[in-house]
Structures are given as C-alpha cells and as structure tokens.
Structure 1
Amino acid sequence: MSIKPAQFSHIVGTRTYQFRDLKDLLAKATPLRSGDLLAGVAASTAEERVLAQMCLAELPLKTFLNEALVPYESDEVTRLIIDEHDATAFNSISHLSVGDFRNWLLSDAADTATLTALAPGITPEMAAAVSKLMRVQDLILVAKKCRVVTAFRNTLGLDNRIATRLQPNHPTDDTTGIAASILDGLLYGSGDAVIGINPASDNVPQVIKLLHMLDAIIEQYAIPTQSCVLTHVTNTMAAIKRGAPVDLVFQSIAGTEAANSSFGINLALLAEARSAALSLGRGTVGQNVMYFETGQGSALSANAHHGLDQQTCEARAYAVARKFQPLLVNSVVGFIGPEYLYDGKQIIRAGLEDHFCAKLLGLPMGCDVCYTNHAEADQDDMDILLTSLATAGCNFIMGVPGSDDIMLNYQSTSFHDALYLRRVLGLRAAPEFEAWLKQMEIYQHDHKHNEQLHLHDALPSGFETALRRLT
C-alpha cells in the first residue's frame, strides 16, 4: 500500500513544505552534489534541504517496504530488494523512524555483532536515507563498527587490517611495463586484495594472455593473493570456457535494471558467471569469487535513474552486489567526473556515504579514492578521504604506481599511501599476505614501528630475474 503524498511535508511556523513523493523527499534531503543538480532533483535552497532532512527524520522505516522508488513490475533490482528482504532481521528496528535509526546506530547498543545480524533486514533505501541525516563523523563511527570478512586465497576485512588492490595498468598492455608495476607494488607490500589489471585492449585473447601472466607470477612465488582482469563479465566467461586461470569475475554494476542493461548485464548473467568461477575451485581459504565496482552517477549518465538522486541509486547497486557474496566491492568515487561530484568536498562526502551504506548492508567495501584531472579536487582532498576511510574500517584501497593511472588517466592512491595508513593508524595487511611478505624478506620486524618494509638496496633473491622471465 502506497503512503499518501500529504505525509511528505514539514511545517515551520505558518509555512508548509510539501514534497511530491518519497523520491522527491530523498533527493531534496541529499547533501549538495552536482549530479543531482544536473538531474534537476536537488533541493533549490539550503533551507529546503534542511527541511527535507527534518521530514525524512520523522519518516517510519517501514515506509521503504511499502513504497517502491522504482516500480516492482519493471525493475529486477527492486524485485531483488523486496523479495529477499529479511523481515525477521528487520523486526528489531521496525518500530523506528529514520531519525531514530540514526540515533540507535550511533549508540553502544549497535555493536558489531548486532549490526552483522541486522544487515539482511536493511534495504538500500533505508541505508541511503539514514546516511543523509549523518555528519561525516557519524558515517565514520558507524561504519567502523561494521565488520565484513571475505576470503579467497587470503582473508580480507579483519579488524585493524587494510588491503590494497595492486593496479598495474599499462596504456598498451605491455607485459614488461605491467610486470615492473607489479614488482614495485609487491616490494611496497601492496596486492593483498587483488592484483587487478584494467586491460587497454578489451578482447578475449588479450584477457587470456594477461590472466596467464598474473597466474604465473602468483604461482611462481606462491603469493597468497588473487588476480583479476577487469573486463566485461561475458569476456571473463569466455575466458573460463577456454581454460584460462580465472580467480575473480569482475563487473561494474548499478542500482536499476535499466542502468545494468546499459552495462550489458542482468542478474541472471551475474549468477551464471559466479557459478562458472566457483566451478574452477581456485580459492584456498574461501570461495568469494566476485569483484564489483560501483560509483555515484552511473545510473544518471545512462539516463536510467528514474528520477532518483544519485546516492540512493548507488545504494541500490549494493543490493545487486550483496546477492552474489563478493570478495571485493568498491566505489570508484570520483572517477566519472565533476558533472556528478564537482569538487573535493563532494567527493569526500560521497566516498564516506558509499562506504557507510555498503558496510551497513553487509558488503566487503573498499574505495578507489580518486578524481579526474578536470575536477575541482587535488591530492590533499584525497588524503583527507583516504585517512577518513581507513579510520572507518575500509576493507581496501587502490595501489597505483605514483597514484597516477597512465592508462585510465585519473588520479588515485599509491603504494606509499597504504604504507602511510599502516604506519599512522597501526593497520596491517591480510594475515596470509603479511606472512608471505616476511618470508620474502620484504617485511622485517621493527619493535618501534611494528612491521616495516625491508629497506635493502637489493631485491629479494631471485625475484627480479624470475619476473624478467615471465615477460
């Protein structure tokens, strides 16, 4: 049963502020960002935004189970959210309003075990709604209490750990250049989340060539990590059929059926790909085989947002990810450009929102802390977001040589950034990968600074020679 539009209003003195429907209320309550202005859904004034947030705070959480933002009949993501909602898990918070939910999340009653049990009962729209009422410190505090652990060849998401995706992209997929970046990253202790390449040439033979190269490196040195070539899911499925050594299946996903269709995917295709990867049985300590990337603005850029604000659309993508029990999920937060997140302030807020919502929904969330060169942002902004996310318990970040991706042409985080986080915040690599770093004499024990990089001038014995052979 739909809620009456008259309930989406807020009275201040003699004035009544009316919001058209639930979509309008959520959009108007969203902190300012350029994508919502572009879509024509943002609040027209700061006053209207605050009033929308006040109205949203009074809204019962149950409203989101009765009011579909995108029609159930025409959108498989909506059907997924509603059909797989865990009413039993939701029961403990079913009496709360959105504002009450915020207050409860910030209380000591909402501890790690409680939030883990609650996750299946929270819909993406509930998570998005409560995030709109939160300050930055609230987003950090609650996300810190959420712990999501996954495993393939190592264990990710454990407390006081942060992993990195070693991202050795090359503009021509040159294997020597890729190998040099991999070597650089490993020697800085990066690569425990995944060694993942965005191929410049997105065709199946090239994908297979890169997969074999990554597999040879991992096998040669018995590295407890996983590889991935970030190509379209259908290319990965074709590679599996041809006998390629696929660890993880990658795909970009979005929060509406229409947006996913623009990516050439649907839920059935993702399920088929997951089954294919599981059939290979390549994991050693777990079988989480999927890797998803998301980002605010993707549905709007495909004209598939159904009038929703971009942050609510983003949260809906997490329902898709949650369905397939991924090893890794990350928001490529500033990658789409200033049309969607204009400056450093908007990127920082969006990154923390994405991490919070995903963790609340039970996802192993990381973040590509990044921006394009035409955005009003710089590396100082990224340092703020990087530190905030690590404080919030982010599962992993990117490791790009010099933080400048020379193939995708955007600015991300470097191998040094992961070292900074591990040293300043006392964070460590995944346990199996950490043990390997010690075995290879890349790490040594330092009583003053815990585990530190081994600072020998020479490479570990045989490392450089064997990598040359692989290229």
Structure 2
Amino acid sequence: MSYKTSIAHQNYVFADLKTLMAKATPLRSGDELAGVAAENATERVAAQMALADIPLKNFLNEVLVDYDRDEVTRLIIDDHRADLFAPISHFTVGDFRNWLLSSDATTEKLQSLSMGLTPEMVAAVSKIMRNQDLILVASKCEVITKFRNTIGLKGHLSTRLQPNHPTDDLLGISASILDGLMYGNGDAVIGINPATDNLQNLTELLKLMDHIIQEYQIPTQSCVLTHISSGIQLAERNVPIDLMFQSIAGTQLANEGFGISLDLLQEGYEATLALKRGTVGQNLMYFETGQGSALSSHAHHGVDQQTLEARAYAVARKYNPLLVNTVVGFIGPEYLYDGKQIIRAGLEDHFCGKLLGLPMGCDICYTNHADADQNDMDVLLTLFGAAGLNFIMGIPGSDDVMLNYQTTSFHDALYLRQLMGLKAAPEFDTWLSEQGIFKQSNNRIHWAEHMPAQFSKLLA
C-alpha cells in the first residue's frame, strides 16, 4: 500500500509503510548509510505529514518485517492486547500525539495502555514529535521494578555502578566499587563487563560482588555482562547470579547475530528465577540495546534504525526485566554521527521504551571518533532528569578503561540528584544514610568528607 502527500506544490509517494517510516525519521547517519533516509528536509517533512494521517490500526495489518520469517514480528502481533488498544484504536498517529500531550493522558492511563501498543506505533508517533514532546510524555510515565530494591519511582534516579577493569583485576574492581559507593552509585546494579569471558573468571567476579553486597548488606544487585548461554551455565552451577544479562535487537536475524533466540532468552529467564535471589521482587533480566545494531549485522530488512530499536523493546518486555539500557552512542558515528543525533536518539529510546512499559535507563555515551563531547552528554543527562529516566551509568572519571568509550561518571549522578532533588532507590537511600555516606540537612544532601571506617577492609 502506497502513501501520498504534497508539500510546496510537489507530490510525494511512499511505496509502503516501511519506506514512509524511514523517510519520516529525523536525520541520522545510520539511515543514510542504509540508504533509507529522506533525500532532503522537504521530503522528510512530507513523510512526517503523511505519517501523521496514518491510522494506528494500520500497524497491525501492515508489518514492516515479514511475519513468517521473523519471530520478533510474531511476538509483537501475537502478544498484542486488542482490548487495551481499543480506547485509542480510532486514532491516527497525529491524534495519538495530540492525546499523549493532553492532560487526559495520565500516568495511570499510560500504564494500562502499554501492552496495547506495538513498537511500530510508538516509533511512528515519536517521529512527529519535538524533543520537548518526548520529554513531557516520558515524564508522565512511571515504570517500577524490584529485585533487592525498588527502581523507577518518580522523584528517584538510580545508577549502574560499572567498575570495569582491562584485566579483570579484583583489587582494581574493588577500588572502583568502593569509589562508586562513596558517591551514592550502584542502586540499579553493580555490573561488570568482563575482559575475559570464561566461566572461571566470570565466577570469581560474581563471587566478589556477592561478597561485597552481603558483607555490607547493600540493598542492590550484581551482574556480569556475559552472553546468556554462559549465564545459564553459571546458574546451573549455582553461582550467585542476581541478574541475567543479554544484548538484544529488533529482528530475528539480528538476534541470531548475537547468538540468541526467544527460546534461549526464556531459558535464561527461568534459570535465574529458579535461584530465587530477589528479596523485594523478581524482576531479574538486564537487557542492553542500541540504535544501529541490526544494520551493523546486515539484519535490518530495510527498516530504519529507530523503529528497529523500538522493536527490541518488545523482546525485552516479554521477560519482565529489572533494567533496560539503551547504550545510545556506543556503536559509533556511522549510526549516530554527532551530539545532536545522540541526544535525539536517547530521548526517542526513552520515550518509546517507557510507553511500552519498560524500565528504561541510558548509557549516555559517545566514542572518541564521534563528533560529540562531554558537554553534549551533560545536555542529554539533564534532559533525562526532566524526562524521568530510571537509571544512568556511573564510571570512574567518565572514561571506561576497558571498553574505551566516554560515558557518565560517579559525580554526574550527584549533579543530577542535587539539581532536581532526586533520590536513589528508597532502600539504597536509607542504606547510604545508615552507613554515613550521605547525610541530609537544610533540605540538601551532603556526602561524607572521609570514607567511613567500615569500608577500609574492602581494599585490605
């Protein structure tokens, strides 16, 4: 089915919904690389005008990736809740935007609607929204998850403490963990990207983090970001796994490039559930995504990268995750060229994930060959504070010495919490006060000038 519109006395015809979605997407280098982007700004506006008039129900009848060839498409269509979609089933994409921005679209209504939405619907509406629209709507969403603490409450901001080390040295990792805790980081998860991905090394890292959490009775959870097949083996050996990790994408072919399927994700989910390590809840999956991942493995089927990113959220949603992290600038300038594109993509991802009912965080980051700098990341960080992001990264000095990219530091979380009056997860916030790390006076939070004595033995 083709779609038509005219602008400036020129007619535009878009061959199908997939083409229209790609042409309507705000400019980014990945879509140009894939050859699906609008040829110019005028064509982009024409596509956005045409997209605004599309009925939302069209996305249930015209799939962008073939149903018979793609298990992600089958998941999206088969799990769609028509009863929850019914109240807005008469909307066009433009109507949906207007309603989302209205006072009628309350937090409660957005929560009840999430399973009635498909990723393609939320990707479509994001394409006709300004940055401020994405921020305002996302700020109305509240997605709460629990394992050993409660993440996602309004007025709170959590962090992943990321103590990576280029040789997985346990003392070096311990020093980074201690540093992060002293800045109030780590309530989302203490999560390590391992430099050496063998079961013995993974076991040592998991046991180290489990020891620290148990020794100091920290109300948080740990994760080693290894492949889910390794995670399943560790779970079978009863190694102390809190969260099961996996990178995911928005097409079956891209997920096969990661060495995964929906069945394997289900196996990992069930293996971790069986360990019963959560105390206040059982949300125990940790997923990472990123615009451009499908294109980078030639698995995009001609679909724009932002829509495919939203489709990855349907995969995540199936397994009730504790955390979903869009690693927004990590894949590089081939997909998001500069700070402007990274900022836009981050706001899109957060908006789409939250509408779909996911606990969205963001690795606010860039690679050293991108046309971006830390000031761009400060802007995105601050916008996310307004938008109600669930969590960010916390890394020593903003510089990951193992993965070689730039992200947010331990003190960036302090900045945002102080600026906007945000707190850590409630259980973790209480722990920080009890340990003497943070104290509150005159409605301001202060942190300890000296390391509390009880932590000194961690580096002994």
**TM-score normalised over the length of structure 2:** 0.99
2:295 pairs with 1:300? yes
Q: What does 1:95-114 align with in structure 2 at a 5 Å threshold?
A: 95-114=90-109
SS class of match (1:207): helix
Q: Show the counterpart of 1:280.
A: 275
Aligned residues: 460
* Distance (Å, rounded) in 2 between the aligned partners of 1:13 and 1:409: 47
Q: What is the deviation of 1:452?
A: 2.1
2:72 to 73, 77, 88: 77
Aligned to 1:408: 403
Q: Does 1:452 align with 2:446?
A: yes
SS at match of 2:453: coil
Q: Which residue of 1 aligns with 2:201?
A: 206
2:143 is the counterpart of 1:148: yes
Cα distance in structure 2, aligned partners of 1:102 and 1:452: 41
CA distance in 2, matches of 1:310, 1:9: 23
TM-superposition CA deviations, 1:275-304 (whole Å, max 9, x none): 000001000000001000000000000000
Distance apart, 1:453 and its partner CA: 1.1
Residue number among 23, 36, 41 corresponding to 1:41 in the alignment: 36
- Matches of 2:201 and 2:346, distance apart in 1: 32
Runs of 4 or more consecutive aligned structure 1 residues displaced over 6 Å after TM superposition: none
Counterpart position of 1:387: 382
Identity, in percent, stands at 66
| TM-superposed deviation, 1:89 | 0.6
Q: Provide the secondary structure at the position in 2 that maps to 1:462.
A: helix
Report the alpha carbon displacement of residue 62 of structure 1 after superposing the two structures with TM: 0.5
Shift of 1:448: 4.1
Q: What amino acid is the match of 1:464?
A: S
Structure 1 gaps of 5+ residues are none
Aligned mates of 1:19, 1:207 — CA distance in 2: 50
1:248 match: 243
With structure 1 as the length reference, what TM-score do the two structures score? 0.97
Residue pairs, 1:16-415, within 5 angstroms? 16-415=11-410
Tell me which of 435, 458, 463 is aligned to 2:455: 463
- Secondary structure of 1:418's counterpart equals helix
Structure 1 residue 11, shift from structure 2 partner: 2.4
1:20 is displaced (CA, Å) by: 1.1
Contact 2:238–2:275, Cα closer than 8 Å, also in 1? no
Instruction: Name structure 2 gaps, 5 residues minimum.
Output: none
1:12 CA drift (Å): 3.4
Q: Does 1:431 align with 2:396?
A: no
Q: Contact conserved, 2:343 with 2:376, CA < 8 A, in 1?
A: yes
CA distance in 1 between partners of 2:452 and 2:8 (Å): 72
Instruction: State the alpha-carbon separation in 2 of the partners of residues 417 and 14 from structure 1.
Output: 49
Distance 1:354 1:468 in 2: 39
Measured after TM superposition, the shift of residue 468 of structure 1 is 2.5
Q: 1:13 Cα shift?
A: 6.1
Contact 2:254-2:294 at 8 Å conserved across structures? yes
Answering whether residue 413 of structure 2 is matched by residue 418 of structure 1, we say yes
> AA paired with 2:459?
R
Alpha-carbon distance in structure 2 between the residues aligned to 1:452 and 1:299: 44
How far residue 16 of structure 1 moved from its aligned partner, in angstroms, is 1.8
